[in-house]
Amino acid sequence: MIEKRIITAAVVFVLALAGVIALTVKQLGIGLPTCLTDVRPFLEGKVIDQAPKRYEIHYVARMWRFEPAEISIRPGSTADIYLSTADVTHGMQIVGTNVNLMAVPGAVNYARVTFDKAGDYLVVCNEYCGIQHHNMAARIHVTDKVAAVAAPPPAVLAGGRKILEDQGCTACHSLDGGASIGGTFKGLYGRKRELANGTTVIADDAYIRESIEKPDAKIVKGVDPGMPPLPVPPADITAIIEYLKTLQ
């Protein structure tokens, strides 16, 4: 008899808990964070404008910053937040919302949030991640004035060019469209590339990153293989990509 009462009480508790969760999701818009098993971890932060007032935001947490650091969207926008880490475990809380995620190595966490009110929303790390943990923050500007991701800081763009120059890339690749041994970087980003095997690819972020890390993975038609990998960290590759985007 006692066992039956315990089982009945346990079932009632589970059903009540499920009811509370369903109520919070429906009435208060509070959802549970989700760990995605079908999305690979990424190393580049970006904002994808999917539709009017609908965004997909890829956040990368790394010691000790979030990428992107500053974005702007319109009031009433819904954002699908994807969070990955480039190094250790971090936390991510968007102050003033119900978003509270963990950035765990090897995993991608997800949450959806609607920004009904205009204002600046602070993004903070709430999981201790090292000596500069307290400085790790980003901002989401919800405003009618700007509705796109902010441009990379000038320092990032200048850094991308300096990396190319320091690594000797500009000895074979021009930046201004001029003739060069390896072709020009001007207009490269977003351009269709014909490969030696007869297929074509778009020179997007993934292609450029792979070309830097594994130059012979996709050989462009008419270009001799054998370029060595560029020995730079992921953050430097991101800076290079952002700089190449400006060479249109």
Three-state SS annotation for the chain? CHHHHHHHHHHHHHHHHHHHHHHHHHHHCCCCCEEECCCCCCCCCEEEEEECCEEEEEEEEECCEEECCEEEECCCEEEEEEEEECCCCEEEEECCCCCEEEECCCCEEEEEEEECCCEEEEEECCCCCCCCHHHCEEEEEECCCCCCECCCCHHHHHHHHHHHHHCCHHHCCCCCCCCCCCCCCCCCCCCEEEECCCCEEECCHHHHHHHHHCCCCCCECCCCCCCCCCCCCHHHHHHHHHHHHCCC
* Domain spans of the chain, in order of start: 34-142, 154-245
- What token pair was written down for 202? 């778009």
d(CA 116, CA 112): 13
d(CA 181, CA 230): 17
Question: Per-residue pLDDT tens for 187-236?
Answer: 888 888 888 888 888 888 888 888 888 888 888 887 777 778 888 888 88
What CATH code is assigned to 154-245? Answer: 1.10.760.10
Mean of pLDDT values over 128-156: 76
Burial class (CB in 10 A: 0-12, 13-18, 19+), 160: buried
Question: Per-residue pLDDT tens for 170-187?
Answer: 888 888 888 777 788 888
- Whole-model pTM over 0.95: no
- pLDDT at residue number 105: 92
CATH class of this structure's domain 34-142? mainly beta
